[in-house]
Amino acid sequence: MSRRNKLGKFADLLKYPHVYENFDPLIPILHKSATDTVQMKGKWKSDHFGNDNPLTLELACGKGDYALSLARAYPGHNIMGVDVKGARIWKGATDALEEKIENVAFLRTRIEQIGNFFEPNEVDEIWITFPDPFLRESKENRRLTSPNFLDRYKKILKPGAIIHLKTDEVQLYDYTMEVLSEYDGVNIIYHNDDIYASELVYPELEYKTFYERMHLAKGLTIKYIRFTIN
């Protein structure tokens, strides 16, 4: 099944009960199939997960490695992977079905659109794991820790909710530290530019994505920032 082409994967996603898709960034509508639409804003916990457990987002989730790891480790939490690439989401969504992991779901949309799909105070935690660093200065506003994205997160997060950044990219790490030092209401709880140089402070840092394994194999160091926005 892993060899299915993109069209086959897209067809699968339309059938998966735990995958929601926004096909047009200019029209904030979620699809559950090719023809069925749903309204989930403010209702993810009640209408999808059927509980009131904390909701954690993994942004730019790729193949969903981290989302699945969090779901396995924290069955009392609702985990959602968010990414615009359907072919990547397919891998995590398929693994979740095969393993019968019921506390994980996936949202296919641009991260810029998350305010269209989550109510204020609906999200309890955000993970940003190995995002595209957009190293060119002309694309600085596309970095997921730029002020315009922090503004979006602040609107949907509960007060005091934790945001995590895990990356191998020095420039993104340094840029984020600078942005956070200037952004109003930020509290940096912890930061480390080489988390594996000593004992891990937080156990969930042990979870590794596909991309992290690649970076470690190249001898790159992994950086991490943990912060809140009040």
Chunked in runs of 10, what are the mean pLDDT values of the chain (230 residues)? 76 95 94 92 98 98 96 98 96 97 98 97 98 94 98 97 98 98 98 97 94 93 97
pLDDT in tens, 119-148: 999 999 999 999 999 999 999 999 999 999
pTM for the model: 0.95
**Average model confidence (pLDDT) for the chain?**
95
Give the active site residue among 24, 83, 124, 132: 132
Give the model's pLDDT for residue 1.
42
Per-domain residue ranges for the chain? 6-229
CATH superfamily of 6-229: Vaccinia Virus protein VP39 (3.40.50.150)
Supply the pLDDT for residue 127.
Answer: 98
The answer to whether residue 193 is catalytic is no
Chain Cα centroid distance, residue 82: 5
Among candidate residues 97, 102, 100, the one with its CA nearest the CA of residue 80: 102
